[in-house]
Chain A
Amino acid sequence: MVDFTLSDPDRDILSGVAEEAKASEKYARHYDAHEDEILPKAFVEAAAFPSLLERMRRRPSDDTPSVIMQMLIRIEREAHNGVPLRQAPSALGNAALGAAGTPAQQKRWGHLMLAMSITEPGAGSDTKAIQTTAVLDGDEWVLNGDKIFVTNGVRCHGTIVWATVSKAAGRGGIKSFLVLKGTPGFELVRKEKKLGIRSSDTAAYAFRDCRIPRDHLIGGDERVPQSADEGSASYKGVLKTFNITRPTVAAGGIGKALGAFRYARDRLAKEGIAVDWDKGPHDRTSTEQTLLELEADIEAATLTVLRAAWLAARGEPNNLEASVAKAKGGELCRSGPQRAMELLGAMSLSHDHPVEQFLRDGRITDIYEGTGQIQRLVIARAILGYSSAELS
């Protein structure tokens, strides 16, 4: 049966998450103003709250699928202007390792925090254009190239790096490799300075004749496919992880918009401004109308995330829906906080209030993990039946 309600235990989980996020709000401005600092592994306040795993452990299996709950939890968390009280032990590279690594590799490195280095100064959206090379020399791969915008790149133990073993083979020549911090020739060049999400460390790396053992090739498949259209297993494996990470990223942007919306709604209510659901559009002020439309847009984007997650939970293909969710979340992370600020007026510009930070922190959603344009390309290809060569 179609249903959009949560069970009481799940509501409790979400309010627990909200409480925890609230307890972290006092740190938000500090890390926003001190970008050079890295978040501690755990704040003292963390002790008062169960871990996510503990929260989820008590759930019965016949309730809302846990992937959906994870999305809702992400939205609720991000709707607070806070910082994670506990740092997640894993990062994007772990997802890639899980999707494409051999069982032995997963066992060996799964406990480490692994970042994901795909983007380069000269290639972002167009991942197949990366220039970093990997050359087999005896029993070692030799890596050369530059990577930028590596999330968790400062605090991670190592990273998965995309490099080409054969430029002529195009996408098929791209493989992923595991490089641990401390490997000679692997340099952390700098920590990037950003518009927002400043408590999240973003690194730039350089690889100069960086030698790694032969078995650090993720998935272990050294063959180079002949046709350029045929992506290598590890390339495809990583793309597959996007089917969950795209809705998750979208959920982050939705959360920021929701936080900004709640703030605007509650503060305006104190000024006597609120949506009266009985009134028609002709009897609403433009402020009330904007509040209403913003809430509708948040509902809409949230539903796309739930839909993509629901398909994933059922093991059904959700590539298209994951991009729909990311496109909607990306749109909302921009228009949501923007409108919330317009609703509140000039005081929303001040650091006294969290809305301006919601705008800055949320804005990333339409950029990483595929920009809004890239999501539209994915969607357009899927509905038109075009390959990436046919529509680029």
Chain B
Amino acid sequence: MISFDVTDEQSQIRDMLLTFAKEELTPRARQADETCAAPAELLDEAWSLGLASLAIPEAYGGGGAPRSTLTGALMLEAMGSGCAGLGGAAAASSLFVNPLIDLGSEEQKKRELPKFCGNARRAATLALHEDSFAFDPSRIVTRAEPRADGWRITGVKRLVPLGEEAGDMLVLARASDAPGIDGIKAFIVPPRAPGVAITRESGTIGLTPMRFARVELAGVSLPPDAILGEGDGADIRPLLASLRIGGAALAVGLVRAVTDFAIPYARERVAFGEPIAKKQSIAFMLADMHIECDVMRWLVWKAAAAFDRGADVSKMAVLAQNYVNRRAIRIADDGLQIFGGHGYIRDLPLEMWLRNARMLTIHGALAAA
């Protein structure tokens, strides 16, 4: 039955996070961007909202809420509207926790999930990207070789969010010669394991509070059940879908913020004797920004609802991500244009939003919805 009705719980979580985004994230966004760091007390506060453990089953100490990417998307959109960089940092554990809930074996869940249910904040991450141009997941070259005593992983991962801080990490690697995505599996790799070397990246255009890192895996030995899922490892398509939905949801939040920021400015800023909002080229730009913010949200919802139903998972996520990527960067860019030279100056957030939007629309593993 077609409905746009979020549940009461979802609307409560969203409202709480919208308030959190407005009061805590937005005011700290610029400084976090400049210092390339998320303040610890902010991340602690986010942790205390209990969102990381919300969907972890009660048996493992979690909140026991039904696992829902739609709820995840609502949360990420709300945080993205405050600051995608800080929101991404605050939600980083989702990159590890959600795939564990979705695809982990009973043993793996029992072992990994309780760590995220305590009062102490725990950062975690997922390593997807590699040091090559025209990268995409089916071209992963990091190799996991089966050994008599488990796995041996070799390769270099790049642009890993919160790489240095993470206490837990999933690494996507080629585990067999099965073609394309079928050969790629996720591995649970302790960041402090021998052979793992993590260093900060030289810097990124945006989302700087997510402190991206380079992760070198020099023949890292892992136990047999380091492969995510039962037996030969879970199909990672759902994981990729949840990453696509997660990144898109953050982007939807960001561009809504851009649009809401541009509207009052266009009404106030006077040029040639009248507010620029009265010029159609500006008014129509704003109208299109509003239209696309709406549309992108519904597409993300549709992909998330498909994910939660377990149908059309890859396809809907790819469609939503494709659409969001095309439109979000445009909105961020038009937002800056509406502010003219002032949009280019770092006093205002427009240039930061453009940089963050560029990350959100190209980096493939920033959040798992």
| A residues apposed to B, CB below 8 Å | 1-7, 62-65, 68, 277-283, 292-293, 295-297, 299-301, 303-304, 306-307, 310, 321, 324, 327-328, 373, 375-377, 379-380, 383-386, 390-391
Q: For the complex, what is the distance from the CA of A310 to the CA of B302, rounded to whole Å? A: 15
* Inter-chain contact B267/A2, CB cutoff 8 Å: no
Contact across chains for B290 and A379 when beta carbons are under 8 A apart: yes
Q: How many residues of B contact A (CB 8 A)?
A: 50
The answer to whether A283 touches B136 (Cβ under 8 A) is yes
Among B70, B278, B287, B302, point to the contact of A379 (Cβ < 8 A). B287
Question: In the complex, what residue of chain B is closest to A384 when comparing beta carbons?
Answer: B277
How distant is the Cα of A310 from the Cα of B323 in the complex, in angstroms? Answer: 22
CB neighbours of A386 from chain B (8 A):
277-278
Of A292, A299, A301, the residue contacting B302 (CB under 8 A) is A299
Q: Is the CB of B291 within 8 A of A327?
A: yes
Check B306 against A383 for contact (C-beta < 8 Å): no
Query: Whose C-beta in chain B lies nearest to the C-beta of A6?
Result: B2
Q: Is the CB of B314 within 8 A of A376?
A: no
**A-B CB contact pairs (8 Å), 5 listed:** A2-B4, A2-B6, A299-B299, A299-B302, A307-B298
Say yes or no: B295 contacts A64, CB within 8 Å: no
Q: Is the interface of A mostly helix, strand, loop or mixed?
A: helix
Q: For chain B, residues 99 to 153, give those with C-beta under 8 angstroms from any C-beta of chain A.
A: 134-139
Contact B294 A304 (CB under 8 A): yes
- Given contacts A6-B2, A292-B322, whether A391 and B283 have CB atoms under 8 Å apart is yes
Those of B55-78 within 8 Å (CB) of chain A:
70
Indicate whether A300 sits within 8 Å of B181 (C-beta atoms), given known contacts A307-B298, A391-B278. no
Is the CB–CB distance between A6 and B1 below 8 Å? yes
Closest to B302 in A: A4
* Chain B residue nearest in CB terms to A72: B2
Contact indicator B283/A4 (Cβ below 8 Å): no
Q: Which residues of the other chain, B, contact A299 by a CB distance below 8 angstroms?
A: 299, 302, 319-320, 323
Complexed CA–CA distance, A304 and B280 (Å): 23
The smallest C-beta distance from B39 to any residue of chain A, in angstroms, reads 33
Q: A376 to B277, alpha carbons, bound, how many Å?
A: 13
Which listed residue (A5, A65, A300, A376) contacts B295, Cβ 8 A? A300
Closest B residue to A390 by beta carbon equals B278
User: With contacts A280-B137, A384-B267 known, what are 4 further pairs, Cβ within 8 A?
Assistant: A304-B291, A379-B290, A380-B283, A383-B287
Q: Is the CB of A1 within 8 A of B5?
A: yes
Q: State in angstroms the CA–CA spacing of A303 and B302 once bound together.
A: 9
Query: Using a CB-CB cutoff of 8 Å, which residues 183-230 of chain B contact chain A?
Result: none
How near does chain B come to A306, taking the closest CB pair, in angstroms?
6
Measured between beta carbons, the chain A residues less than 8 angstroms from B136 are 279-283
Q: How far is the CB of A271 from chain B (nearest CB, A)?
A: 21
A111 to chain B, nearest CB (A): 32
- The interface residues of chain A lying within 8 Å CB-to-CB of B180 are 278-279
Q: Specify the chain B residue showing the minimal Cβ separation from A385.
A: B267
- Whether A384 pairs with B263 at a CB distance below 8 angstroms is yes
Q: What is the bound-complex CA distance between A4 and B291, given in angstroms? A: 20
> How many Å lie between the Cα of A5 and that of B302 in the bound state?
9
Distance of A380 Cα from B281 Cα, bound (Å): 11
Chain B: CB-nearest residue to A62: B1
Q: Quick one: closest A residue to B184, CB to CB?
A: A278
Is the CB–CB distance between B1 and A327 below 8 Å? no
| B284 contacts partner chain A, Cβ-Cβ < 8 Å | yes
Write the nearest CB–CB distance from B58 to chain A, whole angstroms. 22
| B135 proximity list for chain A (CB < 8 A) | 280, 282
- Whether A2 pairs with B323 at a CB distance below 8 angstroms is no
User: Which residues of B, 301-322, contact A by the 8 Å Cβ criterion?
Assistant: 301-302, 304-306, 309, 314-315, 318-320, 322
Q: In the bound complex, do residue A303 and residue B299 qualify as a contact, i.e. CB atoms below 8 Å apart?
A: yes
Residues of B within 8 A of A65 (CB): 2
* Chain A residues whose C-beta falls within 8 Å of the C-beta of B269 in the assembled complex: none
B288 interfacial contact with A, CB 8 Å: yes
Q: Is the CB of A3 within 8 A of B291?
A: no
